[in-house]
């Protein structure tokens, strides 16, 4: 599609955008745009303009302005996405939602909240906290990521094991379509008659519409929470434990695994209290009625011991629990201390295959002479291998992509998925054929063309370009942001 335009031309469009959204709501100078060239994926793209709308009307009018000038529109929340969902693929206007961050309504009795898309995930839970409620999906980036971005990517998090991902918690949306029209999907009650457009829009990665208001379900905070840390001398024992817990019919609220390499890196950075000499730990959280937590905790401890856990530590108070979670949630950041760059994947496999898969990842690390850490949502089989590298080393970067590609292939082979919560984005668009037939993808494109016929909303995402089938579209260059 469009190449980036000259500064003078951009200035003209910027003036028009300023008349819509306000003179302080538009960025167009090259130096101002730099911050919007990337997100959590180390791939970059230059926008022509960044606009910060304050209202749905602004969004609609900017979309129409973009259409008149044949510019794509890319919605952007906090830019924490890990699949390049907010990265501009071929120029265009980035709509930054930093100014649409109002919590419009918290309706405790009806267990729902209405928010603007720029609201930070954790802020909603904090706002509902006094009433004893919270918003369940909790991406690790929840202190920064926005609900609009969560809706676009159908984001998950550690606690989605028990409560589901974003789509299970969204009741309705206000959406600006690619022609600038505003529609409302879903309803503040169950089962509104008609097609579940809300379910279609959630996870559509900004390719069908831009969300300007979200109605979400709030959940009551559990009475009791218990967090356990099961410590293992062998990775295999930890992964077997995960399969056994599932098979026992216990659904913890969260069941995370960290391997020795990763937890040592985290421990250095955040002093979460992870044992430095272990091969792996499981971070297990149980929630619910006091009695249920009590019993499940005993069951889980028994399973862990039977599978060879060296020691099981129970967080004694909220402070200890927060520390354990802090380590988990800040893990990616901690990686920055030990490696100039890392690449994180998001494949999913059936939980019963975890032991096999972790062995495979270990073998890949040896084969390609790479350091790969594993920190992931073990309970639902959602892997996050972290591959360490130095972007300045071209040979090493090549090996990273090879290993990553093979890990994805293995996920597909096991009947799994290429993404559990990060989305396809730019990164994995060429991997879609690993899990979908040409016909399946064609059907999705047909749906896309209904809403977005000119491919003006977030072009270049989700669908294979056909140019590099089966390969990850990750640019690894020295210019890539360090993490």
State which residue, 367 or 445, has the beta carbon closest to another protein: 445
Q: How far is the CB of 239 from another protein (least distance, A)?
A: 13
Q: How far is the CB of 174 from another protein (least distance, A)?
A: 11
Say whether 382 sits in a helix, a strand or coil. strand
State which residue, 114 or 323, has the beta carbon closest to another protein: 114
State which residue, 389 or 451, has the beta carbon closest to another protein: 451
Q: How far is the CB of 479 from another protein (least distance, A)?
A: 29
Q: In 187-340, where do the E strands start and end?
A: 210-217, 219-220, 224-232, 254-259, 280-288, 309-314
Q: How far is the CB of 354 from another protein (least distance, A)?
A: 10
Q: Is the distance from CB of 285 to CB of 225 less than 8 angstroms? A: yes
Q: How far is the CB of 273 from another protein (least distance, A)?
A: 28
Longest dimension (CA), the chain: 69
Q: How far is the CB of 323 from another protein (least distance, A)?
A: 25
Say whether 417 sits in a helix, a strand or coil. strand
Q: Is the distance from CB of 308 to CB of 239 less than 8 angstroms? A: no
Q: If you ran DSSP here, which 8-state letter would residue 350 be given?
A: -
Q: How far is the CB of 384 from another protein (least distance, A)?
A: 12
State which residue, 26 or 173, has the beta carbon closest to another protein: 173
State which residue, 87 or 462, has the beta carbon closest to another protein: 462
Residue 290's H or E segment, with its range, is helix 290-306
User: Which pair of tokens denotes residue 380?
Assistant: 């639902």
Q: In 11-96, where do the E strands start and end?
A: 26-27, 49-51, 73-76, 93-96
396-400 contacts at long range (C-beta below 8 A, 24 or more positions apart): 396/370, 397/476, 399/368, 399/369, 399/370, 400/343, 400/368, 400/370, 400/476
Nearest to 75 by CA among 103, 50, 55, 99: 50
State which residue, 125 or 204, has the beta carbon closest to another protein: 204
Dihedral sign, Cα of residue 475, residue 165, residue 205, residue 52: negative
State which residue, 197 or 258, has the beta carbon closest to another protein: 197
Q: How far is the CB of 71 from another protein (least distance, A)?
A: 23
State which residue, 51 or 357, has the beta carbon closest to another protein: 357
Nearest to 208 by CA among 448, 432, 429, 464: 448
Distance, in Å, from the CA atom of 304 to the CA atom of 476, rounded to the nearest integer, reads 40
Q: Is the distance from CB of 427 to CB of 83 less than 8 angstroms? A: yes
Q: How far is the CB of 274 from another protein (least distance, A)?
A: 25
Q: How far is the CB of 44 from another protein (least distance, A)?
A: 23
State which residue, 171 or 403, has the beta carbon closest to another protein: 171
Say whether 310 sits in a helix, a strand or coil. strand
Distance, in Å, from the CA atom of 34 to the CA atom of 46, rounded to the nearest integer, reads 7
Q: Is the distance from CB of 173 to CB of 116 less than 8 angstroms? A: no
Q: How far is the CB of 434 from another protein (least distance, A)?
A: 9
State which residue, 141 or 278, has the beta carbon closest to another protein: 141
Burial of 90 (0-12, 13-18, 19+ CB in 10 A): middle
State which residue, 373 or 420, has the beta carbon closest to another protein: 420
Q: How far is the CB of 54 from another protein (least distance, A)?
A: 23
Nearest to 381 by CA among 344, 419, 421, 348: 348
Distance, in Å, from the CA atom of 291 to the CA atom of 268, rounded to the nearest integer, reads 36
State which residue, 69 or 251, has the beta carbon closest to another protein: 251
Q: Is the distance from CB of 364 to CB of 403 less than 8 angstroms? A: yes
């Amino acid at each position: 599609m469009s190449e980036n335009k000259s500064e003078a031309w951009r200035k003209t469009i910027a003036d028009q955008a300023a008349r819509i959204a306000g003179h302080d709501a538009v960025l167009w100078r090259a130096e101002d745009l730099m911050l919007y060239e990337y997100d959590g994926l180390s791939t970059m793209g230059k926008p022509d303009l960044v606009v910060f709308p304050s209202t749905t009307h602004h969004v609609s009018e900017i979309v129409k302005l973009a259409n008149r000038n044949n510019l794509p529109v890319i919605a952007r929340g906090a830019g924490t996405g890990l699949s390049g969902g907010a990265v501009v693929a071929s120029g265009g206007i980035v709509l930054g939602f930093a100014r649409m961050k109002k919590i419009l309504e918290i309706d405790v009795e009806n267990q729902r909240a209405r928010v603007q898309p720029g609201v930070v995930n954790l802020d909603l839970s904090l706002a509902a906290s006094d009433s004893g409620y919270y918003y369940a999906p909790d991406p690790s980036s929840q202190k920064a990521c926005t609900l609009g971005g969560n809706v676009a990517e159908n984001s998950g998090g550690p606690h989605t094991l028990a409560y589901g991902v974003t789509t299970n918690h969204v009741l309705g949306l206000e959406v600006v379509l690619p022609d600038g029209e505003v529609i409302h999907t879903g309803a503040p009650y169950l089962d509104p008659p008609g097609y579940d457009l809300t379910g279609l829009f959630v996870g559509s990665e900004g390719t069908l519409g831009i969300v300007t208001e979200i109605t979400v379900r709030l959940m009551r905070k559990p009475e009791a929470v218990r967090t356990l840390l099961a410590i293992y001398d062998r990775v295999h024992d930890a992964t077997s434990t995960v399969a056994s817990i599932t098979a026992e019919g216990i659904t913890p609220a969260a069941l995370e695994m960290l391997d020795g390499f990763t937890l040592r890196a985290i421990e250095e950075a955040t002093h979460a209290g992870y044992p430095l000499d272990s091969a792996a730990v499981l971070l297990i959280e149980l929630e619910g009625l006091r009695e249920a937590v009590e019993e499940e905790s005993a069951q889980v401890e028994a399973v862990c011991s039977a599978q060879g856990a060296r020691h099981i530590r129970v967080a004694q108070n909220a402070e200890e629990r927060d520390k354990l979670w802090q380590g988990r949630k800040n893990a990616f950041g901690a990686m920055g201390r030990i490696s100039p760059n890392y690449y994180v994947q998001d494949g999913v496999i059936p939980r019963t295959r975890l032991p096999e898969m972790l062995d495979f990842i270990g073998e890949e690390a040896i084969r390609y002479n790479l350091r790969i850490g594993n920190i992931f949502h073990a309970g639902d089989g959602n892997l996050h291998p972290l591959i360490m590298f130095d972007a300045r080393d071209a040979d090493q970067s090549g090996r990273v992509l090879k290993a990553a590609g093979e890990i994805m292939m293995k996920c597909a082979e096991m009947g799994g998925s290429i993404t559990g919560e990060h989305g396809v984005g730019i990164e994995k668009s060429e991997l879609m054929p690993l899990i979908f037939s040409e016909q399946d993808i064609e059907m999705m494109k047909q749906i896309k063309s209904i809403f977005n016929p000119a491919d003006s909303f977030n072009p270049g995402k989700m669908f294979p370009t056909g140019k590099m089938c089966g390969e990850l579209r990750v640019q690894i260059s020295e210019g890539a942001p360090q993490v």
